[in-house]
Amino acid sequence: MTSIVDTLYAMARSDQILIDEPMSKHTTFRVGGPADVMFLPESPEQTVRAIEAAKTAGVPVMVIGNGSNLLVRDGGIRGLVILLGEGMAAVARAENVITAWAGASLKRVAAYAQASGLSGLEFASGIPGTLGGGCAMNAGAYGGQLSDVLIDAQVYLDGELRTLTRDEMQMGYRTTLPLRRGGVVLSARFALQPDDPEAIAARMWELNARRRDKQPLNYPSAGSTFKRPEGHFAGALIEAAGLKGRAVNGARVSEKHAGFIVKPGEATAADIIALIRIVQDEVRAHSGVTLEPEVRIIGEDQ
């Protein structure tokens, strides 16, 4: 690890490099052990240099956003974690096209579009993730998804920096080519439509009001815990299995929306994972449907 740390210090400021950084500070579940080294890049070029330096040094590397779809195990993450955050959050407009770097929150990109009088990203205004992760998993909500408006994305894939069109991204339900192949989305462009900013804001307010009414936003979570199984809704299957309120220590299936596992009390990642397994087993026994986690479970056990 010494070699990668020395390389990072040579290419960046010391405050961009964190040692033994608790991942609980960087995930919305607020659990997770430490990352050996965390790097906070301030440009796509710095991001690529850090990835390549880690590969050269033989150090495992993982790139994350704001951790809204991550569950980090209690033993933490070995190697280098590159966090795309405020230093990678630039957003710009050219006519009806919005360009954003990977660390910009989807909420920020949607708000920028609204203030610019551009419609098409209203659905993204309440998604608690960043642009890079959102593009990599084709994030969506309330009938919209990023593939609806994406022009192209700058992606570090298979050791190369490439620009992939929407078709080349192979965007499906919560999946893309970069996600399947371990690529990193660094920036993206979106084609939007001119509209009245107040009308756009009204639509965003309505969607976010629906989200507040239906989702347990007052507790730490990683959003929808499970992917939507074909022909079903995960929350409905979990509720039908009588699992609302089921808990493992401080981890609980939300009483407000059964598709969410929340952390209203003290809980470890192991508690949350145990509850995920219970839900999967009991839903399978009740309905025959196997639920696949939407949240990414990473890191090592303690």
One-character DSSP codes across 18-79:
EEEEEGGGSSTT----EEEEEE--SSHHHHHHHHHHHHHHT--EEEESS-TTEEE-TTBEEE
Strand pairing class (296-298; 70-72): parallel
Of 24, 68, 147, 224, the active-site residue reads 224
Return the CA Rg of the chain. 19
Predicted confidence at residue 3, as pLDDT, reads 87
Q: How far apart are CA 220 and CA 263, in angstroms?
A: 5
pLDDT the model gives residue 1: 76
Give the pLDDT confidence score for residue 287 in this predicted structure.
Answer: 97
- Report field, pTM of the whole predicted structure over 0.85: yes
Q: Which two tokens stand for residue 152?
A: 């192209």
pLDDT along the chain (302 residues), means of 10: 91 97 97 98 97 96 94 98 97 98 98 98 94 95 95 96 97 94 97 98 96 93 93 97 98 97 97 98 98 95 91
* 118-167: pLDDT as tens digits: 999 999 999 989 999 999 999 999 999 999 999 999 999 999 999 999 99
Say which of 174, 189, 221, 254 is annotated catalytic. Answer: 174
CATH number for the segment(s) 234-298: 3.90.78.10
Quick one: fold of 2-87? Answer: 3.30.43
Choose among 136, 127, 79: nearest CA to 296: 136
Residues of the chain with CATH 3.30.465.10: 89-214
Dihedral angle computed from the Cα positions of residues 126, 129, 132 and 138, in that order, rounded to the nearest 10 degrees: -60
Asked whether the beta carbons of 295 and 70 are under 8 A apart, the reply is yes
Tell me which architecture the domain covering 89-214 has in CATH. Answer: 2-Layer Sandwich (3.30)
Please pick, among 78, 211, 294, 296, the residue that the annotation labels catalytic: 294
* Strand order from edge to edge, sheet including 61-64: 17-22, 34-39, 77-83, 61-64
Question: Does the annotation mark 300 as catalytic?
Answer: no
Q: What is the pLDDT of residue 174?
A: 87
Ranges in the chain annotated CATH 3.30.43.10: 2-87
Respond yes or no: is residue 224 known to be catalytic: yes
Q: 164 CB contacts (<8 Å, ≥6 apart)?
A: 152, 153, 155, 157, 177, 178
Respond yes or no: is residue 24 known to be catalytic.
Answer: no
On whether the CB atoms of residues 84 and 64 are closer than 8 A, the answer is yes
Q: Per residue in 14-34, pLDDT tens?
A: 999 999 999 999 999 999 999
**How distant is the alpha carbon of residue 299 from its chain centre?**
16
Question: What is the per-residue pLDDT for 33?
Answer: 98
Q: Where in the chain is the domain with CATH 3.90.78.10?
A: 234-298
